[in-house]
């Protein structure tokens, strides 16, 4: 962390061969929550680097061929019928087999799977315990990040800075964390508040957090959050609730 206590943008250090050798000595798992993502999930799973040890697709109640396609591409499919992004993430965490590093990413084609290296390498090199993939700092395809998503990110990040002095730029779902750090956070949110809960608890519990710029593409299909009024409102309310809950919890101690 720098003098202002903000998340630093990091770049992997070392030659490509050195990094490849180190990656292959660490056990990396990827968790992909998925709800009706048959158009994208096959390409997402196929593009994940070969050195990743475990790919878990959590089928969150899909009514299409998401689960079958993911399994066909080599993913381990876990079913979580209770709808909710956080519920799917928690089911994926429960299915882990003691990895060193856990990566979370979306199954809609918006994240770029080969960029997992940008998130994992700083952890392997001991630079951080949690790396947030920042879509704000990275290259975004036109229209990929909706105005409501940009505003929600700005507001949440501003509030976290005001309460805790941490200058996040994004609540992006593409992120990597040490498994032991993830367990220590005791994550509990089962819907829209998963990402902000992780970032707030990381501020409070002490893991070293940095940001790395990542690319962001237009998703395939309709967003379950920004694509509907109900999703936008639900996500906004839950994110604010998590932030103020944690702030009040801090002040009551």
pLDDT tens per residue, range 174-188: 999 999 999 999 999
- Cβ proximity of 57 and 78 under 8 Å: yes
Strands (DSSP E) along 46-135, which ranges? 54-59, 76-79, 101-104, 130-134
Secondary structure class of 30 (helix, strand, coil) = strand
* Domain range summary for the chain, segments of one domain joined by +: 8-251
Rounded distance, CA 118 to CA 129, Å?
14
Look at residues 189, 160, 182, 157 and name the one whose alpha carbon lies nearest to residue 172: 157
pTM for the whole structure:
0.88
* Strand order from edge to edge, sheet including 54-59: 8-9, 209-213, 130-134, 175-178, 101-104, 28-34, 54-59, 76-79
Mean pLDDT of all residues belonging to the chain: 88
Whether residue 197 has pLDDT greater than 90: yes
- Cβ proximity of 44 and 70 under 8 Å: no
The pLDDT assigned to 5 comes to: 44
pLDDT tens per residue, range 62-119: 999 999 999 999 999 999 999 999 999 999 999 999 999 999 999 999 999 999 999 9
Q: Quote the radius of gyration of the chain (alpha carbons, Å).
A: 17
pLDDT band at 2 (very low <50, low <70, confident <90, very high): very low
214 dihedral zone (left: phi>0; alpha: psi -120 to 50; beta) = beta
pLDDT tens per residue, range 24-61: 689 999 999 999 999 999 999 999 999 999 999 999 99
Secondary structure class of 151 (helix, strand, coil) = helix
The superfamily (CATH) of domain 8-251 is: Spore Coat Polysaccharide Biosynthesis Protein SpsA; Chain A (3.90.550.10)
Q: What percent of the chain has pLDDT over 90?
A: 69
Whether residue 215 has pLDDT greater than 90: yes
């Amino acid at each position: 962390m720098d003098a202002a206590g903000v998340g630093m943008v990091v770049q992997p250090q070392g030659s490509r061969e050195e990094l490849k050798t180190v990656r292959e000595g660490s056990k990396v798992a990827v968790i992909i929550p998925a709800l009706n993502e048959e158009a994208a999930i096959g390409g997402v799973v196929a593009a994940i680097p070969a050195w990743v040890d475990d790919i878990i697709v959590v089928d969150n109640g899909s009514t299409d061929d998401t689960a079958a396609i993911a399994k066909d591409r080599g993913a381990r499919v876990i079913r979580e019928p209770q709808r909710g992004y956080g519920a799917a993430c928690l089911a994926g965490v429960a299915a882990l087999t003691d990895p060193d590093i856990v990566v979370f990413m979306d199954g809609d084609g918006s994240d770029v799977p080969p960029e997992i290296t940008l998130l994992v390498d700083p952890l392997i090199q001991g630079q951080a315990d949690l790396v947030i993939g920042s879509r704000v700092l990275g290259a975004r395809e036109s229209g990929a990040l909706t105005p409501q998503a940009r505003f929600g990110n700005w507001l949440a990040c501003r509030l976290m800075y005001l309460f805790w002095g941490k200058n996040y730029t994004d609540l992006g779902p593409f992120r990597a964390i040490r498994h032991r750090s993830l367990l220590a956070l005791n994550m509990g949110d089962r819907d829209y508040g998963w990402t902000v809960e992780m970032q707030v608890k990381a501020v409070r519990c002490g893991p070293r957090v940095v940001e790395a710029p990542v690319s962001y593409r237009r998703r395939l299909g309709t967003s379950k959050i920004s694509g509907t009024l109900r999703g936008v409102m639900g996500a906004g309310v839950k994110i604010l609730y998590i932030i103020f809950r944690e702030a009040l919890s801090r002040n009551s101690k």
